[in-house]
Each structure stands twice: as C-alpha cells, then as structure tokens.
C-alpha cells in the first residue's frame, strides 16, 4: 500500500481481555517499529523488527506484551490480560532498512481498556 496501515483504528476492551493490534508496513520496508503514546505524553519505544527478528525488545513494558512479524511484512502486537494503564495510542512505523531512520508512521490504534 501507499502508507503504513494499522488496524483496528479504535479498540475498546474490558480489563483482563487479550487484544491484537495489526500493522501493515510499506511494501519493501525491512524495518518495523512499535511505539505507544499515552494521553498527552510523548512517544514510548516498544520494539523493532529487522526482517522477522526483533533485536531489541527492551521497550516492552511487561511480559504481557509480545510482538511478532511474519514474512517480513505484517506485524502483530499482542497484549494479554489488558490493564487500564495499557490504554494509549499504539503507533507502528516502517523504514526501508534499520539504518535509515526516515520512519513512516501509521495513524495508530487507539486502545481503551475499561
């Protein structure tokens, strides 16, 4: 596609439920990144992928968070047993390669945990 696509755009869930957030990067981009942004806050790095591997998982807040990428393309961020503090906008970005830090961001998924 023309840009980074994220789905769903909005997700409302109940505390304790699991959620999956999807990111479709720009075709041909080998690097993919996940950030989150809580209300009124800056961007918090979560994880990045080079191809299908994730060299740096240090930003994941807890073991309830996991991410995978298959076929060097689509990535899924999974949050298990969601908590209210997980409520945020989850942003995905991609770049041609890891050393190219011209990131292209999607519009994000607004996650609300009730």
Partner 1 sequence: DAKTTQPTSMDCAEGRAANLPCNHSTISGNEYVYWYRQIHSQGPQYIIHGLKNNETNEMASLIITEDRKSSTLILPHATLRDTAVYYCIVSVGQGGKLIFGQGTELSVKP
Which of 11, 22, 43, 51 is close enough to bind partner 1 by CB under 8 A?
A: 43
Q: Using CA of residue 32, residue 67, residue 73, residue 14, what is the dihedral sign?
A: negative
Strands 65-69 and 88-95 turn out to be unpaired
CB of 14 to partner 1, least distance (A): 25
CB of 45 to partner 1, least distance (A): 5
Which are the contacts of 40, defined by CB distance < 8 A and separation ≥ 6?
Answer: none
Residue 105 binds partner 1 (CB under 8 A): yes
Residue 34 binds partner 1 (CB under 8 A): no
Q: CB of 29 within 8 A of CB of 98?
A: no
CB of 31 to partner 1, least distance (A): 6
Residue 103 binds partner 1 (CB under 8 A): yes
Q: CB of 7 within 8 A of CB of 110?
A: no
Phi-psi region of 99 (alpha: psi -120 to 50; beta: other; left: phi over 0): alpha
Residue 93 binds partner 1 (CB under 8 A): yes
Give the C-alpha separation, 92 to 3, whole Å: 11
Which of 51, 52, 59, 76 is close enough to bind partner 1 by CB under 8 A?
A: 59
Which residues form the interface with partner 1 (CB under 8 A)?
4, 31, 33, 35, 42-43, 45, 48, 50, 55-56, 59, 91, 93, 95, 97-108
């Amino acid at each position: 596609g023309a840009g980074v696509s994220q789905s769903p755009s909005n997700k409302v869930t109940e505390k304790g439920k699991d959620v999956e957030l999807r990111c479709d990067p720009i075709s041909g981009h080998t690097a993919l990144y996940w950030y989150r942004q809580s209300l009124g806050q800056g961007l918090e790095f979560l994880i990045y992928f080079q191809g299908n591997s994730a060299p740096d998982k240090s930003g994941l807040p807890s073991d309830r968070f996991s991410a995978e990428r298959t076929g060097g393309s689509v990535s899924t961020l999974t949050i298990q047993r969601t908590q209210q503090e997980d409520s945020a906008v989850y942003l995905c970005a991609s770049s041609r390669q890891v050393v190219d830090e011209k990131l292209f961001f999607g519009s994000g998924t607004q996650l609300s945990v009730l």
